[in-house]
Structures are given as structure tokens and as C-alpha cells.
Amino acid sequence: MKTYRITIETLTAFGTPLVGDTLFGQICWGIRHQFGNERLETLLQGYPENQPFLVVSNAIPNGYIPLPTIPSNLWQEGDEKDRKKLKKKKWLDKNAIEEPTTIWQQKAVTESDISDFNVKNSTQPHNSINRATSTTDNQSFAPYSQSQIWYGKETKLDLYIVLDEKRFSLDDLKTVLKNIGTFGYGRDASVGLGKFKIVENDIQAVQLSQKNANCYLTLANCSPVNNGLEPNRSFYQIETRFGRHGDMDALAGQPFKKPIILAKVGAVFTPLNFSEKLFIGNGLAGVSHSNDKAVHQGYTPIIALHIDFKDGE
């Protein structure tokens, strides 16, 4: 398996955040439409048993990686003392991986500090017309608003994708991603949201590891249970995911999946026995009320880091 960095350029607003587990689900539907259901079922064999054919990161500002979620006493103290300002510094130039992690907080930036990254959330009003009265009303036809994510012109985002090319080729992956970018990702793709294109000359295999690494930095939401981790040296925030089926399964009798709890991107996990890996986590089965074959990505691509925990003991 290899980790690839694939850069995409946003073309429209998005109705759904570009997160790894959601994008993985849409890629699976794309494989089914492009190559057939039998091919998808073959690729998903062994998925819950730590044999994924594909692991997808969250979309990350081009040229950056997430700042690790670790206690403040593990950072080297810098000039900035305001904790509120420090909390907003979430991104780090990817070249900082060559430098000691203790100084990363001093080098981190906020989203507004990234010159070519401009994103804002807005609401789009909608209404439904009652055909009996030719107007809206105060019940099921009442006007409503939905959130949209707007990126600046030519905004680029990086996807880190761990790929088993013996099972699914890079060319096939590019085909599926191009289809998703053309027809749209996530909510309201049918009305023009979620469109993007692949930046072809920015696809490359990458090595994401520091020297003398002893822990992992996650690049997507993940399920870290039963991964042989050291609890006192693992730091993360959690998110409850209320998933929904996509594509044709969204029209089934039960479109909602069972809620699951995942660790957010930027988590740091320290294994009891460190080994070089490309991903950690779990493939989650049994997440659907209506489709017993449905799975959810609880895996994440990782960066192997060296963090000196001696001050945190």
C-alpha cells in the first residue's frame, strides 16, 4: 500500500463538509456505478478485519497538515500567550514535519492566515410551494434555510489517500474521483453543489514520518478502539456522527445509519508497541438498520511523529 497526496480544486459551494468517511462512502457508490456491484463487494472483503483497499483523509488546506491535539505543556512556550488565539491556530505547513514537534505550535497558523484559503459558511433560503394554494404556508411548506460552505476562487485542498494498488489502481481511483467532482459531492449535488476537479500534476506518493517516531497523528475522523494504544499518551476530541445512506440507499425505508462516536482529525495516538504504519483505526460494520452489508470508514491515514512525552508524565 502507498499513501498518495491528491490535490483538488473546488468549483462550487458544498452542502456537506469534505470529510474522509463521507467521501469514502461516495467513492464506494462511484465504484459500484463505474465498475459494478460485484467489483465493490470484492474490494470490501475483509474491510472490517483491518484489510481496507482504500483509506481517505479529510480535505486539508493545500500544503498544510493539522496541528496535533496535545496538552499545552508538551509545546515549547513561544511569544504568544493568549490561549484563545492559540486555539485558533489549527494548521501547520507540511514542511514542518522535518522540524521538532515541540515548536509546531509557534509555527501554526489560523485559516485566515493562509493567503490562498478562504472559506465561509452561509445559509441558502428555500421554500416549497403548496400546489393546492400556489403559495407557502406555516406547516410542511414553510420556508427554510440550509447551510452551505463557500470556498474562495481556485481554492485547493489536499486529500491523503492510502491505496492498495494490487486491488484498486490509482487510475481507477482518479476516474471515480473525477466522476464525483463532475456530478457533485454530498448534499444538493443534484442542484450544483459539491463540484471539484483534480489537479493532475499534484498527485504524488508521499512518506509521512518523522525520525524516531513514537506516535501517530490522524488525518481523518477515526475509531481507535482495540488498536493497542497507550491511553495516557493518546489525546483526541470526539465527534458523534449521525450518518445517512447515500445514492439509492437514501431512498430506502430507513435512510439513517446508527450513530457512531469517532475521534476527530488531528488526534494523537501512541501505541504500546510502535511500528511503521500507513493507517490505523477500524472498519465499522453493523452501522445500518436496512443494509447489513454497509460499512463506515473508521480508518485514518496517519503521520508518524516523535513527541517527547517526558514532561507530560
Does residue 141 sit within a domain? no
Tens digit of each residue's pLDDT (9 = 90 or more) over 259-301? 999 999 999 999 999 999 999 999 999 998 888 889 999 999 9
Say which amino acid occupies 41: E
Given this model, what pLDDT does residue 169 score? Answer: 97
- For position 117, what pLDDT does the model report? 85
Question: 136, exposed or middle or buried, with CB in 10 Å at 0-12, 13-18, 19+?
Answer: middle
Go through 8-45 and write b for each residue having 16 or more CB atoms within 10 A of its CB, e for each that does not. bbbbbbbbbebbbbbbbbbbbbbbbeebeeeebeebbe
Q: What is the pLDDT of residues 100-158, one digit of tens each?
A: 999 999 999 998 888 788 888 888 887 888 888 888 877 777 887 888 899 988 899 99
Cell numbers for 197, please give them.
Answer: 476537479
Residue 178 lies in a domain: yes
Q: Among residues of the chain, what percentage have pLDDT more than 70?
A: 98
HSE (side-chain half, CA atoms, 13 Å) at 230: 13
Q: Is residue 197 part of a domain?
A: yes
At position 62, the amino acid (one-letter code) is N
Contact 145, 122 (CB under 8 A): no
One-character DSSP codes across 31-79? HHHHH-HHHHHHHTTTGGGT--SEEEPPPEETTEEEPP---GGGSPP-S
CA gyration radius, the chain: 21
At residue 115, the pLDDT reads 79
Instruction: Tell me whether residue 81 is in a domain.
Output: yes
- Is residue 312 over pLDDT 50? no
Flag whether 20 is in a domain: yes
Domain count, the chain: 1
Q: What pLDDT, on the 0 to 100 scale, is given for residue 144?
A: 79
Catalogue the E-assigned strands of the chain: 2-10, 54-56, 60-61, 64-66, 91-93, 119-126, 144-151, 156-163, 196-198, 204-205, 215-218, 238-241, 260-263, 268-269, 279-285, 295-305
For 169, residues 6+ apart whose C-beta sits below 8 A from its C-beta are: none
DSSP three-state, residue 93: strand
pLDDT tens-place string over residues 148-193: 899 988 899 999 999 999 999 999 999 999 999 999 999 888 889 9
Q: 138 lies in a domain?
A: no
Residue 130 lies in a domain: no
Residue 153 lies in a domain: yes
* Residue ranges making up the domain that contains 304: 2-125+146-312
245: pLDDT confidence band, cut at 50, 70 and 90?
confident
Q: What is the mean pLDDT of the chain?
A: 91
| Prediction pTM value | 0.92
